[in-house]
Amino acid sequence: MTGKMTIALDAMGGDAGPDMVLPGAELASVRHPDLRFLLFGDGPRLEAILTKYPRLKGRSEVRHSEIAVGMEDKPSQALRRGRGKSSMWLAIEAVRTGEAQGVVSAGNTGALMAMARFVLKTIPGIERPAIAAIWPTLRGESVVLDVGATIGADARQLVEFALMGEAMARSLMSLDRPTVGLLNIGVEEVKGLEQVKEAGRLLRDLGLPLEYKGFIEGDDIGKGTVDVVVTEGFTGNIALKTAEGTAKQLSTYLKLALTRTLLSKLGALLATGAFATLRERMDPRKHNGGVFLGLNGIVVKSHGGTDALGFATAVDVAIEMIRNGLVAKIAADVAEINKHMDAFAPRAAVDA
């Protein structure tokens, strides 16, 4: 099903680097027998690990790179040290040249975004890329963006996020007409930021081919009220991390409660199957992969602290986006939409 798809991996990214990335790629190889990999990183180290994974070895090519971007490097440092030669840069470069159709990295988010913007450039008509998270909800999954590519967004940028997120939801969840909501606050005396209100007006009045459902609040994300949740990167990042913190908090409570007494331990034992289902639903490794939207190429960021299973999920996400031609979809949508937008809301006027 993946045809002759090739994915470039920054094998040095993530807390455990190639010791996590390569087993992750092996798992992805099992799932996708036609998939090929370009593995960028410390050649001898990668070759040594590959001896344990003959299947992966047969389907991948190692590209040596001396330099690995550190997880704590600032984007400017990473660019200075790693431009043109780090495993991260070279993996992205493989997408630009067409050797690979997408890149996956568990490395430093800031550096990855900076390099990806530099190498791939934004799609014509898109001002700023965004990072989209795949958020598990009571109804399934939603796309939430921006979760931290940039801080702040004006009305027109929020509309661009809506378009890009909608295209991603169509690709990822095979929805014909995903619903879109703008994240806002419901307290009456403060009816939301001006740019959010203005974005709401644009989404309602522009006649975009997009199912806009209006404002939603924070608790609507988990409910799955809409398929695509649009907000700027500061709020989006804090919402995402707050939800992660709450999930961790509640699973800690649950563990504590279930190991407190002999009876509760016995109960937990009997309900093992139920808890396996619960763990599965809550497993962050099943929802791993932040998609960089708005660039001329597919870039997926895996959690740095994930394991092989989580990394394989991020590869799955990349495959899905490639297979559905996400970049072309966004480019076409944006070209179409910018005709409307320029008439209704010239960029300068919206920005002012």
Footprint on residues 161-180 left by a copy of itself (CB under 8 A): none
Piece of 5-13, 265-273, 322-330, 338-346 that binds a copy of itself (CB under 8 A): 265-273
Question: Which one of 238, 328, 332, 335 is in contact with a copy of itself (CB under 8 A)?
Answer: 238
Binding range to a copy of itself, per CB under 8 A, among 7-15, 58-66, 256-264, 344-352: 256-264
How far is 23 from 313, CA to CA, in rounded Å? 12
Stretch that binds a copy of itself, among 6-14, 25-33, 158-166, 230-238 (CB under 8 A): 230-238
Residue number, 87 or 171, with CB nearest to a copy of itself: 87
Element (H, E) at 22: helix 18-31
Question: Cα–Cα distance between 56 and 42 in angstroms, integer?
Answer: 17
Decide whether 254 or 309 has the Cβ nearer to a copy of itself: 254
Residue 65's contacts (CB-CB under 8 Å, 6 or more residues apart) are 12, 40, 41, 42, 43, 85, 86, 87, 90
Out of 237, 302, 306, 313, the only residue in the binding site for a copy of itself (CB under 8 A) is 237
Which of 140, 223, 332, 342 binds a copy of itself (CB under 8 A)? It is 223
Given a contact cutoff of 8 angstroms between Cβ atoms, the answer to whether 317 and 306 are in contact is no
Among 239, 300, 345, 350, binds a copy of itself (CB under 8 A): 239
- Nearest Cα residue to 226 out of 157, 294, 189, 175: 175
Residues 53-112 that bind a copy of itself (CB under 8 A): 72-75, 108-111
Contact 298, 103 (CB under 8 A): yes
Q: Rounded CA gap, 170 and 137, in Å?
A: 17
Burial class from Cβ neighbours inside 10 Å (0-12, 13-18, 19+) for residue 232 reads: buried
Subset of residues 177 to 216 that bind a copy of itself, contact rule: CB under 8 A: 183, 185-190, 192-193
User: Which two structure tokens, joined as six digits, stand for 150?
Assistant: 């940039």
Classify 184 as helix, strand or coil: coil
266 binds a copy of itself (CB under 8 A): yes
Strand positions, DSSP E, the chain:
6-10, 36-41, 60-64, 102-105, 130-137, 140-145, 179-183, 211-216, 228-230, 290-293, 298-301
- Which residue, 30 or 256, is less far from a copy of itself as judged by CB? 256
Report how far residue 198's alpha carbon sits from residue 196's, in angstroms, rounded to the nearest whole number: 5
Task: By CB under 8 A, name the one of 257, 328, 332, 335 that touches a copy of itself.
Answer: 257
Please work out the total of residues on this chain that contact a copy of itself, with binding judged by CB under 8 A: 76
Q: Residue 264 CB, nearest distance to a copy of itself (Å)?
A: 4
Q: Does 10 bind a copy of itself (CB under 8 A)?
A: no
Task: Return the residues of window 286-315 that contact a copy of itself according to CB under 8 A.
Answer: none
Among 277, 305, 342, 346, indicate the residue that binds a copy of itself (CB under 8 A). 277
Distance between CA atoms of residues 211 and 205, nearest Å: 12
- Reduced to 3 states, what is the DSSP secondary structure of residue 118? helix
User: Minimum CB separation from a copy of itself for residue 202, in Å?
Assistant: 19
Q: Is there a contact between 50 and 71 (Cβ–Cβ < 8 Å)?
A: no
Candidates 127, 275, 296, 340; binder of a copy of itself (CB under 8 A) is 275
d(CA 320, CA 325): 9
Q: Considering the complex, state which of residue 6 and residue 108 has its C-beta at the smaller distance from a copy of itself.
A: 108
CA distance 109 to 125: 24
C-beta of 98 vs 273, nearer to a copy of itself: 273
The footprint of a copy of itself on residues 126-165 (CB under 8 A) is 137-138, 148-152
Q: By CB under 8 A, is residue 118 in contact with a copy of itself?
A: no
